[in-house]
A and B are shown apart, each in its own frame.
Chain A
Amino acid sequence: MRVTNLLKMENEPLIIRRAVDGDERALRALWTRHAPHIDMVVRRLVGGDVDAAADIAQEVWIQIFRALPSYRGDSQFSTWAHRIAVNRTLNALRRTRRLASVETEVHEDSAAVEPDHDRSFVAESIEAAAAKLSPGARAVFMLHDVEGYTHEEIADALGITTGGSKSQLFKARAKLRSLLAHLVDVKHVGLSRKDTEHVAPAY
């Protein structure tokens, strides 16, 4: 029997109920089960600074457990906790000025992209490559392409415009495309079926 299935079989609503009552073992059971995913969300948004990520992850878990009495079970606990992790991490980054003035980073990034430098760095993964992005661009990329947020949600979370969010995303993808060239370069391509069915109007 696979371990992941066994974990899913545990009675999570019961564990949550005991955790709300302050039972340390129940709280620990929730942390043990969800920390590998939640902490990863924090790590992705923060980037390469592991110490900062660890501090923020600690804040995230305290916030999750403080808010636990407000969890109504309308969504999966993992989804609920994930949302707290994203919001808390963005707040922490904003507090430490890492996300300050994301809009101005749009312009700064244009000059900051250094193709020659990018070529000398070979990233082994999206996480490693994204650590090379500016905090604002990384946050937008992670929220949109990894976490599945819309530009409207990102704009709301980061206090920027949807246009700013799109611009950051495209710049982030461009830099990542360069950093991950060894993983994403393809030799032969054709048009996708989607293209032949849907063509945008000229603009």
Chain B
Amino acid sequence: MSHLPTERLAALVDEAPTAAELAHLTSCPECARERAAYQAVADLAGTEANRIGTPLTTWEALAPSLVADGVIDDGRGLRLRTRSAKRPWLQAAAAVLLLSGGVVAGRWSVRTTTPATTSTVAEKPDSLPTFSTVQDARDAQARAQSMYQTATAYLAQQDTSGRAIESPSAMRARLAALDRARDAMGEALNEAPYDPVINNYYLSTIGQREATMRRLNTVLPASMKMTSY
């Protein structure tokens, strides 16, 4: 019997050989090696399924499309929901907590940044806006939230002033604290799964946690990726 054709050897990765092919494979080291090589290709492919890589997408590019699509609720009534609309007091409380939480988190993450570099949108306490309608307040909430998230993302990328202070050990401590906060909010959600205030805190905690992990990876040596803390 002549050597097995290339495509037949490729097929034997997932097909059984005939008796004649088996007899040939037993006596022909060359075909046996080729068959093993094809099996190795398939094995390599099998490991490929679990491989992950740097995302091709960025959230900054994705978010505007999702807003335009109405997938992201930008606070402009694109996806009004009955549940939240019935509880305006909870939304107002969420707005206050989110903004105050944002201020605290912001000062925490940029504590060494000088006021001059962050005051382009700052207002005096006595110039805080007042709202005449719920929609006005919602719009302001959405703008503030968006601005905070954008500023945080920018600072995470660009701000180098706080990195000397934000040592890996300090960030690991922050991660541990955020884990505890996440666990506490997770338990609270079991009792009040639809509470928007708790939901906001929970998601904020997760967001800060992921940002901290990303930043921790940037301050570690290039050869060392964080797998534990």
**What is A's interface to B at a CB cutoff of 8 Å?**
1-3, 6, 10-11, 14-15, 18, 21-29, 31-32, 35-37, 39-40, 42-44, 50, 53-54, 57-58, 61-62, 65-66, 68, 125-127, 141, 145-148, 166-167, 169-171, 173-174, 176-177, 180-181, 183-191, 194-195, 198-203
- Of B58-66, B105-113, B163-171, the segment with at least 4 beta carbons within 8 Å of chain A is B58-66
B16-35, CB < 8 A from A: 16-22, 25-26, 29, 32-35
Give the CA-CA distance A170 to B10 in the complex, in Å.
5
**A62, B203: Cβ atoms closer than 8 Å:** no
Q: Once the chains bind, are A27 and B72 in contact (CB under 8 Å)?
A: yes
Interchain CA distance A158-B170 in the complex, whole Å: 52
In the complex, what distance in Å separates the CA atom of A150 from the CA atom of B21? 25
Nearest Cβ on chain B to A140's Cβ, whole angstroms: 12
**A173 touches which of B10, B48, B54, B72 (Cβ 8 Å):** B10
- Cα separation A21 to B45 with both chains bound (whole Å): 38
Contact with A along B75-103 (1 / 0, CB 8 A): 00011010010000000000000000000
Question: Residue B193 at the A interface, CB < 8 A?
Answer: yes
Q: Is the CB of B62 within 8 A of A58?
A: yes
Among A21, A43, A184, A202, contact of B53 (Cβ-Cβ < 8 Å)? A43
A22-B73, A186-B36, A203-B18 in contact; A11/B62 too (CB < 8 A)?
no
Starting from the known contacts A40-B53, A66-B71, 12 additional A-B residue pairs (CB-CB under 8 Å) come to A18-B199, A22-B70, A22-B71, A28-B63, A36-B52, A39-B57, A62-B65, A148-B49, A177-B34, A184-B44, A200-B21, A202-B20
A34 CB, nearest partner CB in chain B, Å: 9
A195-B56 CB under 8 A given contacts A25-B204, A187-B33: no
CB distance from B24 to the nearest CB of A (A): 11
Residue pairs across A and B with Cβ atoms less than 8 A apart, 9 shown, are A24-B74, A25-B207, A44-B48, A65-B66, A145-B46, A177-B41, A186-B33, A187-B33, A199-B22
Residues of B at under 8 Å CB distance from A?
Answer: 6-7, 9-11, 13, 15-22, 25-26, 29, 32-38, 40-42, 44-46, 48-49, 51-57, 59, 61-63, 65-66, 69-74, 78-79, 81, 84, 149, 179, 182, 186, 189, 193, 199, 202-204, 206-207, 210, 213, 226-229
A147 partner residues in chain B, CB cutoff 8 A = 49
B146 CB to nearest chain A CB (Å): 8
B53-A36 in contact (CB<8A)? yes
Residues of B within 8 Å of A53, CB to CB, are 56
Give the Cβ gap from B201 to chain A, nearest Cβ, in Å. 11
Asked whether A39 and B55 contact (CB < 8 A) given A3-B213, A199-B22, the answer is yes
In the complex, are the beta carbons of B40 and A50 less than 8 A apart? no
CA distance A159 to B25 in the complex (A): 36
Alpha-carbon distance A19/B206, docked complex (angstroms): 14
Tell me if A14 and B189 are in contact (CB < 8 A): yes
Residue pair B53, A25 in contact (C-beta under 8 Å): no
Question: In the complex, what distance in Å separates the CA atom of A185 from the CA atom of B32?
Answer: 11
Residues of A within 8 A of B34 (CB): 177
| Chain A residues positioned under 8 Å from B149 (CB to CB) | 24-25
* A2 to B20 CA separation, bound complex (whole angstroms): 51
Task: Tell me whether B41 and A24 are in contact (CB under 8 A).
Answer: no
Tell me if B38 and A177 are in contact (CB < 8 A): yes
Instruction: Assess whether B79 is in contact with A22, with CB atoms less than 8 Å apart.
Output: yes
Q: Report whether A36 and B203 are in contact in the complex, using a CB–CB cutoff of 8 Å.
A: no
Q: How far is the CB of B25 from chain A (nearest CB, A)?
A: 6
Interchain CA distance A185-B37 in the complex, whole Å: 5
